[in-house]
Amino acid sequence: MKLAVILGVILATLTANAADDLSLPDPLKSLNGVKIATAKDWQANRRAEILELFRANVYGRAPVGRPLKLRFETRETTKTALSGKAIRKLVDIHFWGPGGKGTIQLAIFIPNEVPKPAPGFMLICNRPRTNIDPTRKIKSPFWPAERIVERGYVAAAFHNSDLDPDKHDGFKDGVHGIFDPADTPRPPDSWGTIAAWAWGASRVMDYFESDDDIDATQMAVVGHSRGGKTSLWCGAQDQRFALVISNESGCTGAALARRRKGESVKQINQGFPHWFCENYKQFNDRVNELPVDQHELIALMAPRLVYVASASADSWTDPEGEFLSCVHAESVYKLFGLRGLGTDKMPKADQPLHNGHIGYHLRVGTHNLLEYDWNCFMDFADKHWKTGASKK
């Protein structure tokens, strides 16, 4: 009996230690064991190495970047939208590939009262299209365009289904059908649906670069939940986005896989078999063998701005795991002489951390993207983007 108790105590201690020590891969140690000591070394070698590991093992490889045939069609420009406060542009982004044609329908509000080009926020919308209603007959806190404009920022949004419907059809529809080589079996590192949506966000950036009213060097990509996984993967690859925002992105977004809290890699791969590449499924029961963890995805944003938001009652997304990803990305920001979060102490709810190049907040409440979250994102941008928010 005594022995059983002792063994029990030993076992409990071992398990507790295992939980404390996450044995995360070190972003500053390259695959051949070399320590990365300078920002130059990070940029020249390690950044590409980590990006490739995510590409090959997690999100998959897009067969195309900016397609040769890409056309922007401004369908409407209204100078007096939002009671005269904004220009509304409705832009169709058309693209063509071997398997046909696709179109992203982009809605943009540009504040009238700020100098141009103006900085802003682009939402990848993964909720019903009514959440980004450009007529503003329906208003949703998911995309508070009026509030964003009032604060002096461009508000842009598109719907993820324009790139790929959120269902598993064997990668026949959406951009997979348009760009994937038709005659070969699908390689295990082919892009999934999250990568398809991220690709679309980059095509929107292609458009921003062509619009004189928009400051493409100060644009944020924003996503919630599956949209947050997408904004992170987009921002990791596309360094044109100056600020990358993940709202409650959870598993394979901002949350550390090795914590095994909330949604697991196995659950996400089984529930959403089309989101990531086939190779990712090998890690369903071996997350410790993943060659990366999600803090390294956050680190790929360095030295740019990145923001992670969690909600207190959203245990499925593991808020603490999201926070810890930010903590463990700090070492890379330090290489650039920058402060990341600047703390490893998780803040209380509704006490945002906005003092470094990594922003974080924990909102009281459930899984959602609300005006509180948007206000925090804009407060953070105000600190870094001098020309943005109206200083009224």
| Active site positions, annotated | 225, 367
Residues lying near ligand GTR in the complex (CB under 6 A)? 126, 225-226, 250-251, 263, 268, 271
- Note the maximum CA span of the chain: 81
Q: What's the closest the beta carbon of residue 387 comes to ligand GTR, in angstroms? A: 33
Q: What's the closest the beta carbon of residue 33 comes to ligand GTR, in angstroms? A: 34
Radius of gyration, alpha carbons of the chain? 21
> ∠ at Cα 289 (285, 295), nearest 5°?
105
Token pair listed for 9: 């105590």
- Judged by beta carbon, residue 124 or residue 242, the one nearer ligand GTR is 124
Q: Are the CB atoms for 61 and 190 separated by under 8 Å?
A: yes
In our burial notation (b when 16+ CB lie closer than 10 A, e otherwise), range 11-23 reads: eeeeeeeeeeebe
Q: Which helix (H) or strand (E) holds 299?
A: helix 294-299
- Judged by beta carbon, residue 131 or residue 225, the one nearer ligand GTR is 225
Q: What's the closest the beta carbon of residue 25 comes to ligand GTR, in angstroms? A: 22
What's the DSSP call for residue 255?
A: B
- Judged by beta carbon, residue 46 or residue 274, the one nearer ligand GTR is 274
- Judged by beta carbon, residue 163 or residue 268, the one nearer ligand GTR is 268
Query: Closest residue (Cβ) to ligand GTR?
Result: 225
Distance CA 360, CA 345 (A): 11
Q: What's the closest the beta carbon of residue 275 comes to ligand GTR, in angstroms? A: 8
Q: How many Cβ atoms are within 10 Å of 70's Cβ, its own excluded?
A: 13
- Judged by beta carbon, residue 263 or residue 330, the one nearer ligand GTR is 263
Q: What's the closest the beta carbon of residue 199 comes to ligand GTR, in angstroms? A: 18
DSSP strand E in 151-232: where? 154-159, 214-224
Q: Are the CB atoms for 275 and 192 separated by under 8 Å?
A: yes
What's the DSSP call for residue 185?
A: P
